[in-house]
Amino acid sequence: MPKELWKGNEAIAEAAVRAGLEAYFGYPITPQTEVLEYLSRRMPELGRAFVQAESELGAINMVYGAACTGVRVMSSSSSPGVSLMMEGLSYIAGTEIPAVLVNVMRGGPGLGNIAPAQGDYYQAVRGGGHGDYPRIVLAPASVQEAIDLTALSFDLAEKYRMITMLILDGSTGQMMEPAEMPAMQEIKRKNFEWATNGAMNRERRILSSIYLNPLDEEKTNLRLLTRWQDVQANEVRYKEYFLEDAQFIVIGFGTAGRVALSAVREARAQGIKVGLLRPITVSPFPYEALEQLTGQAEAFLVTEMNTGQMLDDVMLTVRGRKPVEFYGRPGGVVPFPDEILNEIKRIAAGPVPVHSNPRVSWLHRATAHA
């Protein structure tokens, strides 16, 4: 298919449609409202279900209902709205059914602003909803990647009967880039043996997340965790740039990773042996890849658009064996490549000590300028 100019949010919407999205339930919130608006025209055009719900709370519960029937269903929101969905996500996880959620992150916490941020990493990757449940989280850094990962998220959600979240920030949602849209997939309703779609010619089924007997709930928790082992073993994805001989390794996801790539290219042009590891799945996190790089690297630089969230996953893996530095721009500020380039140069000039808390040393540098 030829490339066309696509706006991030609309590209995600269309990619979902092409992947067989049968139902979309959403609510307006900047900077993702275009997903809702686009699908409000596109879904009825194709005779598929669309509802603008009374709130994000309503939306996620509509997703929950439709997901119980086994069709491909999605919602999208941005940070504060995703917070409202946490109850629903926990229920969906506890019911072990597939669903896709797109979070176009904005500055926070609280009402924050509508500028791009990555402040919901913890919420997406660690929990958000109550209880022990895993979820797959994908982080695109371009419109094309957003298209590709949207299609993938439905496949993964169904394969593992789990929530797949796509986290991007407002800039990727709003930007327009040339991208290739896959061909339209025909809707093929799969006959999942768990789906509650009206008990025609079969035993009736129940879908619920209630396990009153604690021993049954324990079994459920262990089952979810066991399934997660499969995901960790098979679904880790990341991109590597200039890593073969890299002495210094930058780690960033989404837009932060993309900006870092520009900095890394420029640093290489200036003779610094630096590379970039950009996780595509932030959950499951590429622990093994990072573990392997720990041997070769002299130092790591984690860069995110928050106050250091993926940083913890990096620290967990590196375990103090090599220095880890941090550079963050929270609150909706998008870093420029030269900011990250300066950090790379600072580290390359080194030596940098092994901090127990790179977040604090960054904080001092950040507030010293202010």
Partner 1 sequence: MITPNNLVYERPEAFTESPTHYCPGCTHGVAHRLVAEVLEEMNVVDKTIGVAPVGCAVFAYNYFNTDFVEAPHGRAPAMATGIKRVLPERVVFTYQGDGDLASIGMAEIVHAAARGENITVVFINNANFGMTGGQMAPTTLPGMKTSSSSLGRDVETQGYPIQVSEMLSTLAGVGYCVRRSLHDPKNIRLSKKAIRTAFETQVRGLGFSIVELLSTCPTNWGMTPVNSLKFVEEHMIPAYPLGDYKISEAVKQIKV
Report, in Å, the least distance between residue 35 CB and partner 1.
17
Shortest Cβ 76–partner 1 spacing (Å): 15
Decide whether 54 or 291 has the Cβ nearer to partner 1: 54
Nearer to partner 1, 1 or 206 (CB): 206
Instruction: List all residues 6 or more positions away from 97 whose beta carbon is below 8 Å from its beta carbon.
Output: 64, 67, 68, 70, 161, 194, 207
- Residue 56 CB, nearest approach to partner 1 (Å): 11
Contacts with partner 1 by CB under 8 A lie at 22-23, 25, 49, 51, 53-55, 57-59, 61-69, 71, 73, 87-88, 91, 95, 196-201, 204-210
Distance CA 35, CA 28 (A): 9
Supply the minimum distance, in Å, between the C-beta of residue 291 and partner 1.
39
Residue 118 near residue 304, CB atoms below 8 Å:
yes
What distance in Å separates the CA atoms of residue 223 and residue 17, rounded to the nearest whole number? 31
- Closest by CA to 198, choosing from 71, 72, 100, is 71
Instruction: Tell me the CB-side half-sphere exposure of residue 109, using CA atoms within 13 A.
Output: 5
- Shortest separation between residue 120's beta carbon and partner 1, angstroms: 21
Radius of gyration for the alpha carbons in the chain, expressed in angstroms and rounded: 21
Nearer to partner 1, 96 or 339 (CB): 96
Question: Please, which residue, 200 or 215, has the CB nearer to partner 1?
Answer: 200
Residue 182's contacts (CB-CB under 8 Å, 6 or more residues apart) are 1, 15, 18, 19, 147, 151
Contacts of 368 (CB under 8 A, 6+ apart): none
To the nearest whole angstrom, how small is the minimum distance from the Cβ of residue 197 to partner 1? 6
| Nearer CB in complex with partner 1: 49/333 | 49
Of the pair 158, 235, the CB lying nearest partner 1 is at 158
Answer yes or no: are the C-beta atoms of 105 and 118 closer than 8 Å: yes
Q: Nearest-CA neighbor of 13 among 39, 45, 44, 49? A: 39
Could you give the CA distance from residue 287 to residue 305 in angstroms, rounded to a whole number? 21
C-beta closer to partner 1: residue 11 or 62: 62
Task: Provide, rounded to whole angstroms, the least separation between the CB of residue 217 and partner 1.
Answer: 14
